[in-house]
C-alpha cells in the first residue's frame, strides 16, 4: 500500500465502485471477498482480454487449474513451510487440502504430463487463477488488499540459454500495458536471495546474474533490494506511478531454478541427456482486483471507451425520436458497442447529466433535427460536441476501441 492518501477532492475506489455500480464487498459474504456487479465484470473482462492479447504475442497458452490441492503438493513445492500461516485448509476424506495461494504447482504438473525435449521449449502457460490468502482484517482495503485475488498469472519453462531474451520480452510487454493506462513513470527493482530460501547459493547466483543481464541489455535503471526475493528465486518487480502521484508494485518476473528440481522436471537436451528446465513466474498487471482499484482511482472512474462498462448512451429528446433512437441502439449493439438507451421521463438535461455522472464516454442526443438530417448529435463526457452520420460515429468509435486509446477521439 502506498503512503499517500487519495488526492484532495478525489473519491477513493470504494466510493466510486459504489457510485458506478462496479463492485461490493458484503459483510454477509465475508471481508476481503469482492463481488463484481455487471459493470465491474465488464471492466475486469476487458483487462483480461488485454492480457490474453499480450499472452498471444508472448506465446503463452491458457490453462485452468482447481482452486484447491492436497497439502502434500504444497509441502513438496515449499509453500507449506513458507506460507502455512497464510493458507486456508480443509479436510476431505480425512486428508488435508488447501485452497491455493499460488498457481505454480498446478502448472508444474501440466508440464510433467509427458516427456519434453529441447525442441518443445519454451513452454509457456497462463491462467487467470483465483488464489486465496489469509490477510488480517485490519489490513484489508477495498480491492487493494483482499483474501480472494485473481492474478494474470503465467509460468514458463526454458532452457538456461533462453532466459535473458524471454525476460526482456515479458518486461517490455508489462511496460507496454502500463503505457496504455497512461502510466509511463515506473521504477524497476531487482530482489535477491532472502534469509529463508530453497535451492543452493550457486543456483541463486546464476539466476540473479541472468536477471541482471536482461535489465542491463534493456538499459533499464534498477534498484537492488537485497534479501527481498521470493523463497524460490530472485525477482524483478515493476512499480508504476498513478495520476495521484502514488507508486504501486504491479508486474513481477521471478526466476526459479529450485522448484523444477523439487518436482523432478526434465527435458532431453540437444546432447541427448536429461536437463532440468528453468522456470519463470510472471504477472504483467499483478492481480486484477488490485489493478482495478488502482485504475478506478487513477482514472476517477472515467474509463477510456475500450474499458467503459457502457460506451454510448442514446438519448432521445422526445417521443417522436424514440423509434430513431431504438434503431440507432440496435445498430450500435450489432457493431459490438456497449450501448443503452436513456429515455426516462426526465428532462434531456437531466439525462445528459446522469450519463456524465456515470462517466459514460459518449452520448448520442437525437431529436427532430437529427432525424431530418439523418445524423446523431455526439456529446462527449468532457463536453465536446459534433454531428455526424451514425455509421461514421460507429466506425470512429470501433477504431478508438480497437486501438485501446486512453483519450476520447470521436467528435
Give the active site residues. Answer: 104, 133, 151, 153, 155, 235, 281
Longest pairwise C-alpha distance within the chain: 79
What are the residues whose beta carbons fall under 8 Å from the beta carbon of 34, sequence distance 6 or more?
A: 23, 24, 25, 143, 146, 148, 289
Estimate the crossing angle of helix 38-58 against helix 288-298, to 10 degrees. 110
User: What does DSSP assign to residue 141?
Assistant: B
Angle of helix 163-180 versus helix 38-58 axis, rounded to 10? 150
Work out the angle at residue 152's Cα, subtended by the Cα atoms of residues 147 and 153, and round it to the nearest 5 degrees: 90
d(CA 325, CA 267) in angstroms, rounded, equals 61
Distance CA 239, CA 237 (A): 7
For 211, counting Cβ atoms within 10 Å of its Cβ (0-12 exposed, 13-18 middle, 19+ buried), the class is buried
Angle, in degrees to the nearest 10, between helices 163-180 and 201-218 = 50
- The terminus-to-terminus CA distance of the chain in angstroms comes to 39
* Residues 348/353/359/364 CA torsion (nearest 10 deg): 20
Burial label for 235, CB within 10 Å (0-12, 13-18, 19+), is: buried
Amino acid at each position: 500500500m502506498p503512503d499517500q492518501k487519495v488526492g484532495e477532492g478525489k473519491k477513493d475506489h470504494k466510493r466510486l465502485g459504489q457510485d458506478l455500480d462496479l463492485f461490493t464487498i458484503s459483510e454477509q459474504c465475508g471481508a476481503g471477498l469482492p463481488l463484481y456487479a455487471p459493470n465491474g465484470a465488464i471492466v475486469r473482462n476487458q483487462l483480461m482480454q488485454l492480457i490474453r492479447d499480450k499472452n498471444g504475442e508472448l506465446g503463452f497458452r491458457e490453462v485452468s487449474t482447481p482452486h484447491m490441492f492436497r497439502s502434500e503438493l504444497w509441502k513438496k513445492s515449499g509453500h507449506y513451510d513458507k506460507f502455512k500461516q497464510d493458507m486456508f485448509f480443509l479436510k476431505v476424506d480425512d486428508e488435508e487440502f488447501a485452497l491455493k495461494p499460488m498457481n505454480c504447482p498446478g502448472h508444474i504438473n501440466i508440464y510433467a504430463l509427458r516427456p519434453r525435449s529441447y525442441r518443445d521449449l519454451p513452454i509457456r502457460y497462463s491462467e487467470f487463477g483465483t488464489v486465496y490468502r489469509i490477510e488480517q482484517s485490519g489490513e484489508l482495503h477495498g480491492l487493494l488488499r483482499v483474501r480472494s485475488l485473481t492474478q494474470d498469472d503465467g509460468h514458463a519453462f526454458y532452457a538456461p540459454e533462453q532466459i535473458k531474451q524471454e525476460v526482456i520480452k515479458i518486461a517490455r510487454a508489462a511496460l507496454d500495458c502500463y503505457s496504455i493506462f497512461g502510466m509511463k513513470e515506473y521504477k524497476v527493482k531487482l530482489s535477491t536471495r532472502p534469509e529463508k530460501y530453497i535451492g543452493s547459493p550457486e543456483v541463486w547466483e546464476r539466476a540473479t546474474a541472468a536477471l541482471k543481464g536482461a535489465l542491463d541489455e534493456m538499459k533499464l535503471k534498477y534498484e537492488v533490494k537485497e534479501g527481498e526475493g521470493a523463497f524460490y528465486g530472485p525477482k524483478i518487480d515493476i512499480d508504476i506511478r498513478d495520476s495521484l502521484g502514488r507508486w504501486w508494485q504491479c508486474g513481477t518476473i521471478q526466476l526459479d531454478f529450485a522448484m523444477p528440481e523439487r518436482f523432478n522436471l526434465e527435458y532431453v537436451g540437444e546432447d541427448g541427456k536429461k536437463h532440468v528446465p528453468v522456470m519463470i513466474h510472471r504477472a504483467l498487471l499483478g492481480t486484477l482486483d488490485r489493478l482495478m482499484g488502482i485504475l478506478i482511482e487513477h482514472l476517477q472512474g472515467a474509463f477510456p471507451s475500450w474499458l467503459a462498462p457502457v460506451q454510448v448512451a442514446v438519448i432521445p429528446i422526445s417521443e417522436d425520436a424514440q423509434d430513431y433512437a431504438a434503431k440507432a441502439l440496435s445498430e450500435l449493439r450489432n457493431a459490438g458497442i456497449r450501448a443503452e438507451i436513456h429515455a426516462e421521463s426526465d428532462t434531456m438535461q437531466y439525462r445528459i447529466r446522469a450519463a456524465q455522472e456515470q462517466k459514460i464516454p459518449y452520448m448520442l442526443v437525437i431529436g427532430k433535427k437529427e432525424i431530418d438530417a439523418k445524423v446523431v448529435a455526439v456529446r462527449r463526457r468532457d463536453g465536446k460536441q459534433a454531428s455526424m452520420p451514425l455509421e461514421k460515429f460507429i466506425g470512429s468509435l470501433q477504431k478508438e476501441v480497437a486501438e485501446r486509446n486512453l483519450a476520447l477521439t470521436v467528435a
